Amino acid sequence: MNTSVKISVILPVHNQDQFLAECLDSLLAQTMDDFEVLCVDSGCSDRSVDILEAYRKTDPRIRILHQSHRGIGFARNQGIRHASGEYLLFLDADDYLEEDALRKLSEKADADQADLCVCGGKQYLQEQETEVPADMYLNRKRLPEKLPFCLEDAPRTILNFTTESTLNKLFRHGFVLKHCLKFAESDSACEVPFVLPALCLAERISVVRDVLACERRVSDDISIRALLEDPAGVISQWAAAKEKLDRAGVLPEQSYANKAVSGILAQLRNLSQSPAVFYSSVKWLQEEGLAKIGVKEQEEGYYNSSVLSDGIRHLMHDTPEEYLSYSLHLASRQLNEANVRRQLQAKKTREAQTNYRLWTETSRKTQDYLTAENQRLNEQLAAERAKVRELETQLKELKTEASRSVLSGLFRRKQG
C-alpha cells in the first residue's frame, strides 16, 4: 500500500463549531509534522465549514471532504477510503490531543511493529469546565506482563483493558484494510464493530502509558440523541461485533461478555432520561436483544465486578419499571461514590499545593539565608584579605627599614 504521510487523522465534523478550533489547534501543535488531518464535513449547517476552510488556507496538512450527514461512522469510513497515512487515528471534533501524542504513538508502533497502539486518556467535563482522570481508556491492571501483546496473551482482558473509543488508538492502515474493518454507519456505538474486532485480530498491540488524548463530555451529546432515536439499532452493534468476531474465529467469550454487558448497562443509563424509550428497550432486550448479543447470567466471578453481574441479573428478571428503579439507585450510588473520590482527590490536591507552598516558602527562606550567609562570608573573606595585604605592606616596610639600618651601620663602620 502506497502512503504519502505517516498518520492520517480522520475527523468527522457535524455542527461542532464551538469546539472545532481547539481540536484543530491541538493537532497543528503536534511535535511531528508528517501527518494529514482529513476533515469530513458531514452536512454542517453552522460555522464549522468556515472554520475548516480558514485553517486549510493556513496549513496544507488539512484536507476537507464534503458529504451529507449520514452518521459519524459513515464519515469515518469515507475518511478511511481517502486516507494516505501509514497509520490512522480517529478523533471527534470536540476532542483534543496532547502536543506529543502523534509522535509518541507512531514511534512506539514503529518500534514494536504494531497493528494497534493504545495510550492513556482523560475527560473534559464541559459543564464543570474541568479535566478529570479516566483510567478506563488504559486500565493498566488488565494489561499482560508481555508487551506488545495479542489476544493469545490476554484472552480474558483483551476487550477490557481499554474502551471502544478511538481517540486514544493508532491503527495501522494496512491492518484495517486487510481485515475490512468498518464503523457502523450511525452516530452512536459506531466504534463497537470496528474496535472490538481490531483488538482481537491485531497480532501486536503496543501501549504508551502516557495520557495523550482527551474526550470532551457534554450533556447534549450527539451519540445520546442517536441512542434515544434508535436504541435497539444502537445496542445491536454489540451483536454485529460478536458476529464479526465469531466469523473470524477470535471471539474471547468472557472478555466479550464483560465488555458487552458494561456497554449495554451504560447505554440503558443514558436512556433513563426518557422512561418510555427505556421501558421499550428493556423489554426488547429481555425478549430478544440479550440472546442476539449473546450475554446472560453467569457463575460468580465470571463478570469483572458485582455491578456487571448484578446488572445483568436485574436486567433479565426485573420488570422494566423495577429495572429503572434499580438503575437510578445504582447511578445515584455511583455518583455519590464518584463525588467522594473527587472530593478526596481535591483534598489531596489542596494538601499537595499547601505542601508545595510550604516547601517553596521554606526553600525561599533557606535560599535567602544561604545568600545572606554567602554574602557575609564573602565580606569577611574580603576583610581578611585586606588585613593580609596590610600586613604584607607593613612587613615590606619593616624589611626596607631593616635593610636601611644594616646598610647605614656598615657605612659607619667603614668610615671609622
Q: What is the pLDDT of residues 294-307, one digit of tens each?
A: 999 999 999 999 99
8-state DSSP, 5: E
Beta-bridge mates of residue 116:
171, 205
Residue 15 CA: distances (Å) to CA of 43, 57, 70, 241:
8, 20, 13, 29
The backbone region for 343, taken as left when phi is positive above 0, alpha when psi lies in -120 to 50, beta otherwise, is alpha
Higher pLDDT, 245 or 339: 245
**Mean pLDDT of all residues belonging to the chain:** 90
8-state DSSP, 286: I
pTM tops 0.75: yes
Percent of the chain's residues with pLDDT above 70 = 94
pLDDT in tens, 108-129: 999 999 999 999 999 999 988 9
User: Does the structure show a pLDDT above 90 at 51?
Assistant: yes
Report the pLDDT averaged over residues 54-67: 96
Amino acid at 240: A
Report the pLDDT averaged over residues 401-405: 72
* CATH 3.90.550.10 domain position(s) in the chain: 1-227
Region of poorest pLDDT, from 176-180, 197-201, 270-274, 385-389: 385-389
Give CA–CA dist 65/39, Å, rounded. 6
pLDDT of residue 221: 66
pLDDT of residue 41: 95
Give CA–CA dist 56/36, Å, rounded. 11
User: Does the structure show a pLDDT above 70 at 410?
Assistant: no
Query: How many other CB atoms sit within 10 Å of the CB of residue 239?
Result: 19
pLDDT of residue 338: 66
Cell numbers at 241, concatenated: 461485533
Give CA–CA dist 217/95, Å, rounded. 9
The backbone region for 301, taken as left when phi is positive above 0, alpha when psi lies in -120 to 50, beta otherwise, is left
Higher pLDDT, 366 or 337: 366
pLDDT of residue 352: 74
Residue where the block lists cell 467469550: 253
pLDDT of residue 2: 67
Question: pLDDT-based confidence at 348, cuts 50/70/90?
Answer: confident
Angle at which helix 48-58 crosses helix 20-28, to 10 degrees, equals 20
Region of poorest pLDDT, from 161-170, 204-213, 280-289: 280-289
CA dihedral of residues 119, 248, 112, 87 (deg, nearest 10): -70
Of 12, 54, 62, 57, nearest to 35 (Cα)? Answer: 62
Report the pLDDT averaged over residues 351-377: 79
The backbone region for 189, taken as left when phi is positive above 0, alpha when psi lies in -120 to 50, beta otherwise, is left
Higher pLDDT, 391 or 71: 71
Give CA–CA dist 243/248, Å, rounded. 9
- Superfamily (CATH H level) for 1-227: Spore Coat Polysaccharide Biosynthesis Protein SpsA; Chain A (3.90.550.10)
